[in-house]
Structures are given as C-alpha cells and as structure tokens.
C-alpha cells in the first residue's frame, strides 16, 4: 500500500534511511529533518503487517526544479517493484505541480536510467541544494552521481 507519510512513520523512515546511511549508500537524515520535510515523503507499507517497507521524498527546489530524495526500500523487500512504484509516484506528483526538471544524487544510476534520468555534472545543479551536503561525512568529496530528467 502506497500513501503519503504520516507522523507515526517518521521513526520508521529514519531507521530505513539510517540503515542505508551506515552502508554509505545514501545520505542519512536527522530525525528533525524528516519531521521538517514529512510532507515530501511517500511511503510503501506491507499490506499484511503494516510495516513500512519503502520511502521516497520529492523536494521542491525552485519554480521548475525538484529533487528525488531518500528513495529506499527495506532489504527484505527489494526486487518487488516497490522502488519503481515510489519513483513513478514522485514523477507523477512533480508533473502535477508542473515541475519541468527532476534531479537526484545517487549511487545507483542504472535504476534511475530506466526512468529517463541521465547523468549530469554536479555543477549543473543549483548551489541551493548543497546545504544538506554539509551534513555528509563525505563532504566535500562527494562521490554520488548527479542525474536529471526533463518532464
């Protein structure tokens, strides 16, 4: 079941992002940032147990630009199309808001390429987005791949 995130999802979103953050596969987000940006998140919950199995955030950056952030699926549920559903939902939402360009920073470019994202130089992204990078343990030596999709 896919739905917009609610307050009771925050700790599960945080735990999922921490899991991948510890692996160095995405930027973990502090609990306070998840509360601040909760309306950006869509979650996928297992129908049987109600357990949160995936999440994805769509964050608006500018009048025509938004970022796909924090796309994660619990390792026990990968390969079931949950990531695809979450990404497709974010693209649909961005289109509804008349966003013309979506970007992401990722270690899994192959996944995003399936959906029409292409690699871009990070210098093509607005400086505004780098504020979160200050929280990253890899800053300033970012090794994530910047990708963009025109809508």
Cis peptide upstream of residue 72 (ω within 30 degrees of 0): no
pLDDT at 75: 95
Residue 28 corresponds to which tokens in the numbers above? Answer: 């973990």
Distance CA 33, CA 30 (A): 5
pLDDT at 128: 55
Average pLDDT per consecutive 10 residues, the chain (151 residues; last block may be shorter): 96 96 85 96 89 96 92 95 98 97 93 96 70 57 85 95
Residue 130: which domain range?
Answer: 2-150
CATH of the domain at 136: 3.40.630.30
Predicted TM-score (pTM) of this structure: 0.89
- Alpha helix (H) residue ranges in 4-151: 10-22, 31-36, 82-96, 109-113
> Based on the structure, what is the number of domains in the chain?
1
Residue pair 111/26 in contact (Cβ under 8 Å)? The answer is no
pLDDT at 127: 60
Residue pair 5/14 in contact (Cβ under 8 Å)? The answer is no
69 DSSP β-pair partners: 57
């Amino acid at each position: 079941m896919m739905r917009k995130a609610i307050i009771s999802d925050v700790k599960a979103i945080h735990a999922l992002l921490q899991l991948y953050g510890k692996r160095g596969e995405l930027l973990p987000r502090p609990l306070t940032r998840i509360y601040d940006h909760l309306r950006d998140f869509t979650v996928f919950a297992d129908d049987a147990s109600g357990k949160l199995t995936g999440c994805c955030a769509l964050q608006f950056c500018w009048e025509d630009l938004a970022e796909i952030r924090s796309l994660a699926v619990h390792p026990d549920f990968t390969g079931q199309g949950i990531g695809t559903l979450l990404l497709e939902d974010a693209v649909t939402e961005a289109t509804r808001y008349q966003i013309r360009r979506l970007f992401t920073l990722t270690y899994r470019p192959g996944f995003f390429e399936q959906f029409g994202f292409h690699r871009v130089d990070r210098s093509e992204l607005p400086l505004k987005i780098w504020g979160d990078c200050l929280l990253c343990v890899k800053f300033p030596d970012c090794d994530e791949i910047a990708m963009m999709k025109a809508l």
